[in-house]
């Protein structure tokens, strides 16, 4: 019952460093998402993917890149980390929206601090 797994769980970076957050799901879901959660602001969509090899921008995509080379994995990259990217990052997956109700399943989050 792994569901959605995010690695790492915690990370501290220096400004300008790069890193990749990994999200893996074992539910054969088509859709995958990356959100960031900041205090008092709920979850904001960074990027999402509706299938292997496809990605699209969400609400706050600047400073991030993503890749979906395999259906089960969705990677979020920070090329040059900035303090404003200090946040908790959540990955989610779902079956295609609109067929029947298909809620999003969330990982436990990655806590990222940029110094």
Partner 1 sequence: GEDVEQSLFLSVREGDSSVINCTYTDSSSTYLYWYKQEPGAGLQLLTYIFSNMDMKQDQRLTVLLNKKDKHLSLRIADTQTGDSAIYFCAEIGDTGRRALTFGSGTRLQVQP
Nearer to partner 1, 17 or 45 (CB): 45
Q: Site for partner 1 (CB under 8 A): how many residues? A: 26
For 75-88, give the DSSP string: EEEESS--GGG-EE
Q: Which two tokens stand for residue 92?
A: 């989610």
**Residue 99 binds partner 1 (CB under 8 A):** no
Nearer to partner 1, 17 or 102 (CB): 102
Q: What are phi and psi of 61, to 5 degrees?
A: -85, -15
Residues 6+ apart with CB under 8 A from 48: 31, 32, 33, 34, 55, 56, 58
Of residues 13-52, which lie at the interface with partner 1 (CB under 8 A)? 31, 33, 35, 40-45, 48, 50
Q: Which two tokens stand for residue 60?
A: 């706050």
In the complex, the smallest distance separating the C-beta of residue 5 from partner 1, rounded to whole angstroms, is 11
Per CB under 8 A, residues contacting partner 1 are 4, 31, 33, 35, 40-45, 48, 50, 56, 58, 90, 92, 97-98, 101, 103-109
């Amino acid at each position: 019952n792994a569901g959605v797994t995010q690695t790492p769980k915690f990370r501290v970076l220096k400004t300008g460093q790069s890193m990749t957050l990994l999200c893996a799901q074992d539910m054969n879901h088509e859709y995958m998402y990356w959100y960031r959660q900041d205090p008092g602001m709920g979850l904001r969509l960074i990027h999402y993917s509706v299938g292997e090899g496809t990605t699209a921008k969400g609400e706050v995509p600047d400073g991030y890149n993503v890749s979906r080379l395999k259906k089960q994995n969705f990677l979020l990259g920070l090329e040059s980390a900035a303090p404003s990217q200090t946040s908790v990052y959540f990955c989610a997956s779902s079956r295609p929206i609109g067929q029947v109700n298909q809620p999003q399943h969330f990982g436990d989050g990655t806590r990222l601090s940029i110094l």
